[in-house]
Structure 1
Amino acid sequence: MDIKRSLVLLLSSYGCFLFAQEKTVDTVYVFDSQMSKVKLFHHIASITNEDAEKNSSNLSELLRFQSPVYIKENGRGAVSSPSFRGTTAQQTAFVWNGININSSFLGQGDINNIALFGYDQIGIKSGGGSVIYGSGAIGGSIHLDNSLTFNKGFHTSLFSEYASFDTYNNVVKGSYSNERLSFKVSGSHSISRNDYKVEEKGKDYTNDNGQYYNTNINIAAAYKIASRHQISWISEFFNGKQHYPVHFGNMEEQTKYHTQNIRSLISWDWNERKFSNSFKTAYTEENFQYFGNINGPETSGAAGKNYILKNDFNYFISPEWNINVIGEFQVNKGLGEGTSRIGDISRNAGSVAGLLRYFPTKDLRFEAGIKKDFVEKISSPVLFSFSGKWNVVKWYDVGLNVSRNFRAPSFNDLYWSPGGNMDLKPETSYQFELRNQFKLGNFKLMIAPFYMNIRDMIRWLPANSGFYAAFNTNRVESYGLESQLEFEKKVGKHTLRTHFGYSYTKSTDLDIQKQLMYVPFHKFTGMVDYQYDFVKVYVQGMFNGLTYTDSNEKRKDALDPYFVMNAGVNATFFKHYTVGFKVNNILNETYYTMLSYPLPERNYSVHLNISF
C-alpha cells in the first residue's frame, strides 16, 4: 500500500481533516480549520440550531440549560458572564470561527451581546486550550462556528417567535451554492419589553427598565479558484441596546448600554494530499457607550480595534506523523472616552505554536504542543499541552489532557486610571483531565475528573490611596468532575433521545481556603426528546446547587439551590412548516443566578419555522 493511499485511509478513519478527500471538500467548508483536529483529542459538545430553538431567549439561557457552564446574569437579557470549572469570565475564551474575540478592555465576553442565531453550530469545550486558542482559554472555550456547503442550490428559512414580556425573536437565512461558489446570509432581531414580575415571600420584584433589543447580520462566501485553492470570507455585524434593571423604581437612576461589534475574516485555503495551509486575515471591532441617565448624554464609552494575521500549516511527514505550525500576529488598539479612563493605547502581540501528532494505530493517537506568546510589555510564559486518546475496547475509550494555559492582562487591568497596573503578570494555570467514555448499546456514558491550579490571578482590590487597583494575588485550586449520559433509540416512527449532565466543582481560593464566589458545587442538566412522525415533544431541566455570592462563604447571602424545568412541543406540516409552543419554568420556581436579580417565573412562547 503506497503512502498516499495509506494517508487517505488514515484520515478517513479518523474523520479529522476536511481536505483529506475531495468529496468532503465539495460538501462543507468550516471556517475554523483547527476544529476538526481538536475533536480528535478533546470532547466538544455541539449545539445545533434545532437545539438552540429550545432556549431561544438568548445565548445565556441556552448555555445555562444545555452545558455545564454556570451563567451569572444580572436579570434576563442584561449583563451576563460564564464560569467553566470554577474559573471566572475572564478565563473563558469566546472563539469566533477560530479567532479569539474576548474584549480587549475587560478580557471577557458579554454573553447577551453575542447573537444566539448567527452561527451554524455552537461548541462547548471544557478545559484549557491556550496553545491553539490563546489568552483566556483556561477554564474552557465557547466556539461560535459557521460553515458553507457546496453544490446544494438554494435554501431559505424563517424562524419567528412571540414570547412573554412582549418578546419577539426573528431569524431569516438564505443560501446558494454550486460546485465552485457558496454564499450565505442571515439576519436576526430580538426585542423585549422584559418587564417580568417575581413574587417571593411577600416581596414583589418588577424588572423595571429591563428592556433590550439587538440585531445581528452575517454574510459569508467561498469560491474555489482552483481544485486545491479556495478563498473564503465571512463578516458579522452586531448592534445592541440594554437598559439595566433597577430595584427601587423611581428612587434609582435608570441607565442603559449600547454596543456595536464588527467581525470580518478572509481566508485562503490550500489543500493537498500531504499538507494544507490556511492563511487568515481578520478585523474585529468593539464599541460601547454607557449612559448614566437614559435621557442624558453618554457618560463613558470605548472603541477597540484588532488587526489579526494568522497562518495554520499542516503537514503529514508520514501516515503516522503529522506536524502543525500556527503563527499569529495582532495589533490591538483601544480608545476610552468620558469616564472610561484608559486613554489612547496600542499593543502588539504575536505567537508561534507547534503541534506534533502521532497515530500509531487507528485506536491510539497522541498530540503534543508548545507555544510562545510575545505580548508587548508583558512577559508571557511558555505554554504546553499533551493529549492522548485510546480506544481500549469497543465499549471503552480513555483520553488524557494536560496543559499549561494563560490569560494576558486586559487593557483595563493595565491602563485604567487610576488603578491600572503596568507590572501585572499574566495569569497561568496547569490543568489535568482524564476522560472516560463507555458505550453499551444505545447508551453513552462519559466521566471526566479534572484538576486545575491557577496562579497570579488578577483581582481589583482596595489600594492605599483609597481607590481600587489591579494586583496579582490569588492562587486558586479547582477540582471535580463532569459527566454525561446519552441515549438514543429509533423504532419505526418513534425516536427517543435523552441527554443528562452532572458536574461537581470545588474551587478554592488557597489564600483564605474558601469557595470562589458564583461557583456552584453541583449542577445538573437534563433533556428528553421524543418524536412520533411529525410531532416532537421535549422536556428539559436544570438543578443548580448552593452558590456563594461573596468570598467568605456567607450563607445568608448565598443563592439557594433551585430546579427549573421547561417543556415544548413542535409539529411539522407539509415538510416545510413547523409550529411550536413552549412553557418555561413550568414549576414557577423563583431563582437567581446573580444576587438581587431574579429570573422570570413561568412564561410562554409560540413560534413558526419555515424552511425551503
Structure 2
Amino acid sequence: MGIKKSSVFVFSFLNLALFFAQEKSIDTVVVFDNQMRKVKLFHPVTTLSPADIQKNSSNLSEVLRFQSPVYIKENGRGAVSSPSFRGTTAQQTAFVWNGININSQFLGQGDINNIAVFGYDNLEIKSGGGSVIYGSGAIGGSIHLNNELSFNQGFHGSLNSEIASFGTFNHFLTASYSNEKFSFKASANYLISENDYEVPEKRYTNFNGKFQNNTFNISAAYKLNSQQIISFQSQLYDGEQNYPIREENGNRSRYDAQTFRSLFAWDFKTKIFENSFKAAYTEDNFQYFGDPNKAYTSGGINKNYILKNDFNYFFSPKWNVNVIGELQQNQGEGLGTSGVGIVKRNVGSLSGLLRYFATSKLRFEAGVKQDFVEDFTAPLLFSLSGKWSVFNFYSVSFNTSKNFRYPSFNDLYWQPGGNRNLRAENSVQADLTQEFKFGNLQFSFTPYYMKIDDMIQWLNTPFGYYSPFNINRVESYGIEYQLKYFKKFGENTQLRLSANYALTKSKNLDTGYRLMYVPLHKAAANADFEYRFLKIYAQGMFTGLTYTTSNETRKDAIDPYFVMNVGISATVLKEYTFGMRINNITDTVYETVAFYPLPKRNYSFYATLNF
C-alpha cells in the first residue's frame, strides 16, 4: 500500500524550473488531480498515506480527528459526521475526488462516514479558501481523495483483514499491474460493525448503531505515445447506517447511501504546454427510512455530468498561465416527503491563473474566476498567493482569496420552506504562514482571518416550518501550528513525529456569540517508531471546551477531553504483517456531538499479506 515517489507526467515540464530541480524523474505517474502539485507550491497541505489512514481504519472521521486540525462532529461512531475547518460549517468544506468537487447537490456538504476510507493513494487536507480552483463550498478548507497510477511496476497485491471490538470486521483487497504502456489497479473494501458499545458513565448504550458499507475502485491508464496518456478512474460505494437511539424500544430509523463516480482523462504535454481534459459522471442516491421495515420516507437522486479542461502554457521557465474551464449539469429528484420534485441546473466556470517564478526561492500566483449558475448570480472570485524562501531555514508565504457557496437543492426547493431568493454565501480570507527548518525538525505557524457574508441558515418561521435565509455574518480568526520531525538511526531504525494545534475563534457578528461546535483549542500528535521488522505508533488528541448552543450556554457545553490510541505491528518474511491497536487507551468518556458519546477503550487485530 506504499506510495512510490516519482515525477508527475502532467507537470513534468516544471522540472526545467529551478523550484523542481531537486526531484528525480524515475517513472511516469498519472495523477488525476493535477492541480494539487501546483497548490502545494503556495499553500501548506497535510498529506496522509495509506499507512497513515490504516491507523484509524473504522471510518474517515477517525482519520481526520486524530491526524488533522479539522474538528469532526460525529453523532455516535459511524453515524452522521461533518467537518469544521477554521470555525466554518460542513457546507463550507469542499470534498474533492481526483480533482472533482463531490459535495452533495441536495445537502451542499459531504457526510464523512458515507465516504470510503480505503482505496486512495493519498488523502490531502488543505485549510483556507480554494473556490478559484475547486468551486462552490471551498470556503473553510478542502479534503482531497486522490488516486495515482504508475507504469513499469509489474504486479503487486495486498490483503488486509481486521477484527475489532463491537462486532467489527474490515477487509481490504488491492491489486495492480503495469508495464511500459499500460497500468491497472483495482481494490475492494467491506466493512461491517454491530457497533453496540456502551458508556456506563453516561448511561448510554448505542442501540440501533449498526453500519456497513462496500467500496470498489477500478483505474487504468494507457500511453498513446510519449506525449499523451488516457486514463480512467471509477468508484462504487454502497453504505447503510442505522441511526443510534438512547432506548432499546425507541423509534428505529436507517439511512442508505449509494454513490457512483467515473472519470475519464486525456492528458497531453509538450515542452511548452500541458492540457488535461476530463469528463466525469457522478451519482449520489440516498434514502431515509423512518421505519426500517417499511418503504423509505424520503430521499433523493442526484446525477452530475461534468466536463473540465485544464490548460497550462509556459512562456518561459519563469512565467506560465493556467486556464481552467468547466461545464456541469446537476440533476436532482426528491423522493418521498422531501417535496423537492425534479430539478436541474446548468453550471459553468472559467478560471485564469498567472504564476511567476522570480527565482528558485521567490514565486507568486494570481487567479480570477467567474461562475455562471443558471437562475443565479455568482460573485467574481479572486486569489493571490506568494512564497519566499528568505533563508535556508526560513520561508514565508501569504494567501488571500474570495470564495463562495451557492445554495443547495434543499435550500432552494425543499417543501415546505425552500427559498428561491437566496444569495450565495461569500467570504474573504487571508493567512500568513511562516516555516522554519532546523535539520530534521520542521515547524510552521499560520495566523488567519476570514469573514463570511450572507451565510445561509435554516430558521423557524411563523408558519410552523423551517426555511433558509441569508442572515448571518460570521468572523473567524485564529492561528494554526504544525510540527514535524524525522530521524534515522542507522539503516533499520527511524522515528517520525508530527503535531498540530489550532486556536479558533468564530463569532456570529449579528449576535456576538461564538458558533456552535467550534472548540477554541484542538491539538493532535502522532509518533511512529520503526526498528527492523517492528513498528510502534501512538496518537493523542486534545479538544477544548465546545459550545453546543447558539448562546454559549456553559451547562450544555462539551467539556475538554484527551484521547490516546496506540498500535504495534511486526512484519515477517517481508510479506506478512500482524498487528493490534488499542483505541482510546486512556478510557476517556467523550463526545463530539451532545448526547452521543463515542466508544471507550476498544481493540482491533489485523493481518496483512503482500503478494
Structure 1 contact 450–479 (Cα < 8 Å) conserved? yes
AA matched with 2:36: M
Aligned to 2:131: 130
CA shift in 2, pair 1:139/1:421, >3 Å: same
Deviates more, 1:593-602 or 1:529-538: 529-538
AA matched with 1:414: L
Looking at structure 2, the residues matched to 15 and 214 of structure 1 have their Cα atoms a distance apart, in angstroms, of 41
Q: CA deviation at 1:15?
A: 3.3
Aligned to 2:53: 52
Per-residue displacement from partner, 1:4-55 (whole Å, max 9, x unpaired)?
xxx957545433999xx9x45x431110011111111111100000011111
1:516-595 → structure 2 map (5 Å cutoff): 516-595=515-594
Structure 1 contact 75–599 (Cα < 8 Å) conserved? yes
Looking at structure 2, the residues matched to 279 and 441 of structure 1 have their Cα atoms a distance apart, in angstroms, of 41
CA shift in 2, pair 1:16/1:462, >3 Å: farther
Aligned to 2:343: 345
Aligned to 1:418: 416
Q: CA deviation at 1:361?
A: 0.3
**Is the partner of 1:161 in helix, strand or coil?**
strand
Per-residue displacement from partner, 1:446-474 (whole Å, max 9, x unpaired)?
10000000000000001222211110000
Aligned to 2:595: 596
Aligned match for 1:396, one of 372, 394, 397 = 394
1:458-537 → structure 2 map (5 Å cutoff): 458-492=456-490, 493-537=492-536
1:175-574 → structure 2 map (5 Å cutoff): 175-200=176-201, 203-250=202-249, 252-492=250-490, 493-574=492-573
CA shift in 2, pair 1:8/1:79, >3 Å: closer
Aligned to 2:119: 118
Structure 1 contact 10–362 (Cα < 8 Å) conserved? no
Q: CA deviation at 1:141?
A: 0.1
Looking at structure 1, the residues matched to 37 and 153 of structure 2 have their Cα atoms a distance apart, in angstroms, of 22
**Is the partner of 2:381 in helix, strand or coil?**
strand
AA matched with 2:133: I
Per-residue displacement from partner, 1:243-269 (whole Å, max 9, x unpaired)?
00001220x210001111000000010
Looking at structure 2, the residues matched to 437 and 134 of structure 1 have their Cα atoms a distance apart, in angstroms, of 28
Unaligned runs of 5+ in 1: 1-6
Structure 1 contact 404–430 (Cα < 8 Å) conserved? yes
Residue 27 of structure 2 is aligned to residue 29 of structure 1: no
Looking at structure 2, the residues matched to 56 and 253 of structure 1 have their Cα atoms a distance apart, in angstroms, of 30
Aligned match for 1:15, one of 11, 14, 20 = 20
CA shift in 2, pair 1:543/1:228, >3 Å: same
User: Number of residue pairs matched?
Assistant: 599
Q: CA deviation at 1:89?
A: 0.1
CA shift in 2, pair 1:190/1:8, >3 Å: closer
Looking at structure 2, the residues matched to 289 and 179 of structure 1 have their Cα atoms a distance apart, in angstroms, of 45
**Is the partner of 2:33 in helix, strand or coil?**
coil
Looking at structure 2, the residues matched to 407 and 9 of structure 1 have their Cα atoms a distance apart, in angstroms, of 33
Structure 1 contact 16–40 (Cα < 8 Å) conserved? no
AA matched with 2:593: M
Structure 1 contact 418–467 (Cα < 8 Å) conserved? yes
Structure 2 contact 397–434 (Cα < 8 Å) conserved? yes
CA shift in 2, pair 1:16/1:475, >3 Å: farther
Residue 165 of structure 2 is aligned to residue 164 of structure 1: yes
Structure 1 contact 267–278 (Cα < 8 Å) conserved? yes
CA shift in 2, pair 1:16/1:516, >3 Å: farther
Per-residue displacement from partner, 1:290-324 (whole Å, max 9, x unpaired)?
11011122111110000000000000011211000
Q: CA deviation at 1:220?
A: 0.2
Q: CA deviation at 1:204?
A: 2.0
Runs of 4+ off more than 6 Å: none
Looking at structure 2, the residues matched to 610 and 10 of structure 1 have their Cα atoms a distance apart, in angstroms, of 37
Per-residue displacement from partner, 1:332-386 (whole Å, max 9, x unpaired)?
0000111121010010000000000000100000000000000011110000000
1:60-139 → structure 2 map (5 Å cutoff): 60-139=61-140
AA matched with 2:339: R
Structure 2 contact 304–330 (Cα < 8 Å) conserved? yes
Structure 2 contact 14–20 (Cα < 8 Å) conserved? no
AA matched with 2:236: F
Looking at structure 2, the residues matched to 264 and 404 of structure 1 have their Cα atoms a distance apart, in angstroms, of 30
**Is the partner of 2:535 in helix, strand or coil?**
strand
**Is the partner of 2:472 in helix, strand or coil?**
coil
Looking at structure 2, the residues matched to 115 and 350 of structure 1 have their Cα atoms a distance apart, in angstroms, of 28
AA matched with 2:63: L
Q: CA deviation at 1:226?
A: 1.5
AA matched with 1:116: V
**Is the partner of 1:515 in helix, strand or coil?**
coil
Looking at structure 1, the residues matched to 334 and 341 of structure 2 have their Cα atoms a distance apart, in angstroms, of 5
AA matched with 1:392: V
Q: CA deviation at 1:442?
A: 1.1
Q: CA deviation at 1:110?
A: 0.3
TM-score (norm: length of structure 2)? 0.97
Aligned to 2:141: 140
CA shift in 2, pair 1:17/1:276, >3 Å: farther
**Is the partner of 2:517 in helix, strand or coil?**
coil
Q: CA deviation at 1:485?
A: 1.1
Looking at structure 2, the residues matched to 62 and 199 of structure 1 have their Cα atoms a distance apart, in angstroms, of 26
CA shift in 2, pair 1:43/1:16, >3 Å: farther
CA shift in 2, pair 1:333/1:537, >3 Å: same
CA shift in 2, pair 1:325/1:8, >3 Å: closer
Structure 1 contact 263–284 (Cα < 8 Å) conserved? yes
Looking at structure 2, the residues matched to 197 and 484 of structure 1 have their Cα atoms a distance apart, in angstroms, of 35
Structure 1 contact 16–36 (Cα < 8 Å) conserved? no
Per-residue displacement from partner, 1:563-590 (whole Å, max 9, x unpaired)?
0000010111111111111001011100
Looking at structure 1, the residues matched to 379 and 321 of structure 2 have their Cα atoms a distance apart, in angstroms, of 22
Percent sequence identity over matched residues?
Answer: 60
Looking at structure 2, the residues matched to 196 and 349 of structure 1 have their Cα atoms a distance apart, in angstroms, of 45
Structure 2 contact 60–117 (Cα < 8 Å) conserved? yes
Deviates more, 1:527-536 or 1:449-458: 527-536
Unaligned runs of 5+ in 2: 1-11
**Is the partner of 2:428 in helix, strand or coil?**
strand
Structure 1 contact 359–365 (Cα < 8 Å) conserved? yes
Looking at structure 2, the residues matched to 489 and 263 of structure 1 have their Cα atoms a distance apart, in angstroms, of 40
AA matched with 1:184: K
CA shift in 2, pair 1:410/1:418, >3 Å: same
**Is the partner of 1:514 in helix, strand or coil?**
coil
**Is the partner of 1:593 in helix, strand or coil?**
coil
Looking at structure 1, the residues matched to 498 and 22 of structure 2 have their Cα atoms a distance apart, in angstroms, of 28
